[in-house]
Amino acid sequence: MCGICGISGLENKSDIDYKTILAMANSLRHRGPDDEGIWCSGSNALGFRRLSIIDLSADGNQPFVNETGEIRSVCNGEIYNYKELRQKLISCGHQFSSQSDCEVVLHAYESYGLDFVHHLNGMFAIAILDKQENRLVLVRDRLGIKPLYYHVNNDRIHFASELKGILADAKVPRGIDPLALNLFFVKEVIPAPFTIYKNIKKLAAGEMLIVDLQGRNEKFKTVKYWEADFTPDYQRKAADFQEELEALLSDAIDIHSVSDVPVGIFLSGGLDSSAIFSYLKNHSGEPIQSFNIGFDDLENDESKIAERLAKDWGASHRQLRLEKTDVIQLLNRIVLSYDEPFGDSSAVPTYLISQLASKHVKVVLSGDGGDELFSGYITGRGAKNIDIACQLPDFWRMNGAAFLDLVRPSNSLKRLKLPTWLMLASLRDHLFDPLCRNILKPHWQVPRDDIWATYEPLKEKLTNLHPVNAYFAGLFAQYLADDILPKVDIASSAHSLETRVPLLDYRIVALAAQIPYQLKFKNNNEKYIFLKTIENRLPDYILNHEKRGFGIPTAYWKETHWRQRIRTLHEQSSIVSDVLDISKIDSWDGALTWRALFLATWLVQWKDYEVQL
């Protein structure tokens, strides 16, 4: 885990100020406190902050440069297949200056050109400056585990691992994007390619941005180089999937554990992290360092079961408890880390457990992705309801649902009137909740059609899939990429901690996407195929444990300090009162209260932005 940044002038119109790239890199120091690398020449500059994980020597510092000096690269992340790829590249005549996994990126690009990304297995955000081709290439890994932001103006492009890296250049405009603000309340996060700022974008998962620095042909070309195909394979039997999944799990956890520093684990007590632990515990002669967080709300607390598993398997276990009074005290720090409004309240425990782990290890494995891949969010009954809803005749859906709305208004009934693909893509979102829409003052609201248009990139992907598979594909493309993965990256990076997600090895993802949904829940068991694959590795008290979420108990905590804090900020800040309408605050549920609290805090904290339509 590191931080990268850079600036490239378009058509050599302007030289880059060394102080600017240095400020950008320094703003990312938390991502990489171990070393710094700055290269600045004419109209191009690259910055790097290093967290030393593989090849701890100075040789592993970046930017890397090829033998001719024509190509330079910076990479944030880990390339898990770097050893085999390195040997292949050496056999082709490439010379390496380090043992770093990220140096293979540079030489793979030399050998394979823009196809180099298909040779990488890892989590990464990459920037390659190619003087020979006069282009800048920005790449984000297949799943979007590592973030990458960019800003374009008339004569240059900025990029960085976090928004604060780009904002370190005072010349970058900071106007708020009203559409992004509306999406925040609809989706609870701001999805790619949007950010809270009009002029800064996120590169999406599995995307490559090719910038022609001479302005020839297409100046900016975005390529979607990979996405999971959720078309089910009905030719294979459950046993076939289990056999391949078992082999992939073993290999993925093995290569995700490669490190020159100790590796720990976030141990929740659920199936996913426990399964990873069952493989990881055999990799080292030393006790595994495991970390957990508990709550003062019994419905959300899994700390006892995690503690039991850690004890049974000889882990060195540490845990802390989150009390409701902690949230307000932590909020200012969390808001400054996330750079833009972030509405998933589980950012709080993720931030705290990252802080705890960072005191003992530099790398942790996490079970993120298992629910999205193997159906941890939906039961067989839920799948049946989706199937039925999508098979209703169009006339009933469009007219009968409208009639029922007059008798019994319902967000669910309104959703039935949407095109099938959009209905499925938006099942987790708050498209029709008037409280979520009217929480913004009228001059900040955008037409609902503008919000619906942001789902359009999913239309082709979801339209031809079975409704349940379409739901999974939409969940994976949105919730995982825009919420879960950014949450973990930002929270862990704030504490100079690298989090790896072996269940999101792209080979496992590709396999899981092909598993028919009938095998993902069966006999009232969620995650059936995953459960059958790992059941011999785990004790019964893990296998039979009822799934619980990782979120804080917002329903209980909203009544205490949260609403009062929003009222106080609303009274004290003209910015907050200009954006938020709190007249219905007593009707807000816990999740909406949290989003409003986060936004209000952000509006006060980020004083250097421009409030403009």
pLDDT tens digits along 337-354? 999 999 998 999 999 999
Q: What angle separates helix 590-605 from helix 324-338, to the nearest 10 degrees? A: 50
Q: In the structure, what pLDDT confidence band is assigned to residue 412 with cuts at 50, 70 and 90?
A: low
Asked if residues 359 and 497 have their Cβ atoms less than 8 Å apart, the reply is: no
Stretch 228-247: mean pLDDT, rounded? 95
- Tell me the two tokens of residue 589: 């549920």
Domain ranges of the chain: 3-224
Question: Is the pLDDT at 609 greater than 70, yes or no?
Answer: no
Question: Is the pLDDT at 608 greater than 80, yes or no?
Answer: no
Question: Is the pLDDT at 115 greater than 90, yes or no?
Answer: yes
The question of whether 2 is a catalytic residue gets the answer yes
Q: What is the mean pLDDT of the chain?
A: 89
Burial 431-454 (b: 16+ CB within 10 A, else e): bbbeebbebbeeebbbeeeebbeb
Amino acid at 520: K
Q: What is the pTM of this model?
A: 0.94
Stretch 299-316: mean pLDDT, rounded? 85
Q: Which residue has the higher pLDDT, 40 or 15?
A: 40
What is the C-alpha to C-alpha distance for residues 34 and 192, in angstroms, rounded to an integer? 30
Q: In the structure, what pLDDT confidence band is assigned to residue 419 with cuts at 50, 70 and 90?
A: confident
Find all residues with CB under 8 Å of 395, minimum gap 6, and list them: none
Instruction: Find the length of the chain.
Output: 613
pLDDT at residue number 369: 93
Asked if residues 423 and 416 have their Cβ atoms less than 8 Å apart, the reply is: yes
pLDDT, tens digit (0-9, with 9 covering 90-100), for 450-501: 999 999 999 999 998 988 888 889 989 999 999 999 999 999 999 999 999 9
End-to-end CA distance of the chain: 36
What is the C-alpha to C-alpha distance for residues 350 and 494, in angstroms, rounded to an integer? 11
Asked if residues 189 and 174 have their Cβ atoms less than 8 Å apart, the reply is: no
Stretch 88-112: mean pLDDT, rounded? 95
Question: Is the pLDDT at 551 greater than 70, yes or no?
Answer: no
- Tell me the two tokens of residue 208: 């490559």
Q: Which letter does DSSP use for residue 33 in this model?
A: B
Q: What angle separates helix 238-256 from helix 271-280, to the nearest 10 degrees? A: 60
Q: In the structure, what pLDDT confidence band is assigned to residue 612 with cuts at 50, 70 and 90?
A: very low
Question: Is the pLDDT at 284 greater than 70, yes or no?
Answer: no
What is the C-alpha to C-alpha distance for residues 178 and 192, in angstroms, rounded to an integer? 15
Give the position of tokens 């309801």: 385
- Tell me the two tokens of residue 211: 């910038």
Give the position of tokens 């862990």: 492
- As a whole-number percent, the residues of the chain with pLDDT over 90 amount to 70
Question: Is the pLDDT at 527 greater than 70, yes or no?
Answer: yes
pLDDT at residue number 558: 63
What is the C-alpha to C-alpha distance for residues 249 and 374, in angstroms, rounded to an integer? 13
What is the C-alpha to C-alpha distance for residues 551 and 290, in angstroms, rounded to an integer? 19
Find all residues with CB under 8 Å of 275, minimum gap 6, and list them: 249, 367, 370, 530, 534, 537, 538
**Residues forming a β-bridge with 150:** 159, 201
- Tell me the two tokens of residue 320: 């802390």
Q: Which residue has the higher pLDDT, 417 or 17?
A: 17
pLDDT at residue number 127: 98
Question: Is the pLDDT at 291 greater than 60, yes or no?
Answer: yes
Asked if residues 458 and 425 have their Cβ atoms less than 8 Å apart, the reply is: yes
Question: Is the pLDDT at 446 greater than 80, yes or no?
Answer: yes
CA neighbor of 599 nearest in space, from 198, 171, 176: 176
Asked if residues 292 and 317 have their Cβ atoms less than 8 Å apart, the reply is: yes
Of the candidates 2, 40, 75, 436, the residue annotated as catalytic is 2
Q: In the structure, what pLDDT confidence band is assigned to residue 304 with cuts at 50, 70 and 90?
A: confident
- Tell me the two tokens of residue 403: 């009639």
Burial 16-50 (b: 16+ CB within 10 A, else e): beeebbbbbbbbbebbbeebbbbbbeebbbbbbbb
pLDDT at residue number 344: 93
- As a whole-number percent, the residues of the chain with pLDDT over 70 amount to 89
Asked if residues 258 and 243 have their Cβ atoms less than 8 Å apart, the reply is: no
- Asked which of 160-164, 270-274, 506-510 is least confident by mean pLDDT, the reply is 270-274
Q: Which residue has the higher pLDDT, 55 or 47?
A: 47
Question: Is the pLDDT at 382 greater than 80, yes or no?
Answer: no
pLDDT at residue number 326: 66
What is the C-alpha to C-alpha distance for residues 65 and 110, in angstroms, rounded to an integer? 11
pLDDT at residue number 98: 94
What is the C-alpha to C-alpha distance for residues 49 and 33, in angstroms, rounded to an integer? 7
pLDDT at residue number 403: 42
Q: Which letter does DSSP use for residue 483 in this model?
A: I
Query: What is 349-407 written as a DSSP string?
Result: HHHHHHHHHHTT-SEEE--TTHHHHHTSS--HHHHHHHHHHHHS-HHIIIIIHHHHHHH
Q: In the structure, what pLDDT confidence band is assigned to residue 406 with cuts at 50, 70 and 90?
A: very low
Stretch 287-309: mean pLDDT, rounded? 82
Q: Measured between alpha carbons, how far is residue 190 from residues 24, 76, 196, 432, 443 in Å?
A: 23, 22, 7, 18, 19
- Tell me the two tokens of residue 259: 């490190």
Asked if residues 582 and 146 have their Cβ atoms less than 8 Å apart, the reply is: no
Query: What is 213-236 written as a DSSP string?
Result: TT--S-SEEEEE---------TTS
pLDDT at residue number 613: 36
What is the C-alpha to C-alpha distance for residues 5 and 200, in angstroms, rounded to an integer? 14
Cα dihedral 480→482→488→493 (10° resolution): 150
What is the C-alpha to C-alpha distance for residues 539 and 418, in angstroms, rounded to an integer? 45
CA neighbor of 123 nearest in space, from 293, 260, 2: 2
Element (H, E) at 94: none
Find all residues with CB under 8 Å of 553, minimum gap 6, and list them: 295, 297, 299, 300, 324, 590
Q: In the structure, what pLDDT confidence band is assigned to residue 408 with cuts at 50, 70 and 90?
A: very low
- Order of strands across the sheet that contains 135-140: 64-65, 71-79, 122-130, 135-140, 207-212, 220-224
pLDDT, tens digit (0-9, with 9 covering 90-100), for 168-187: 999 999 999 999 999 999 99
Architecture of the domain spanning 3-224 = 4-Layer Sandwich (3.60)
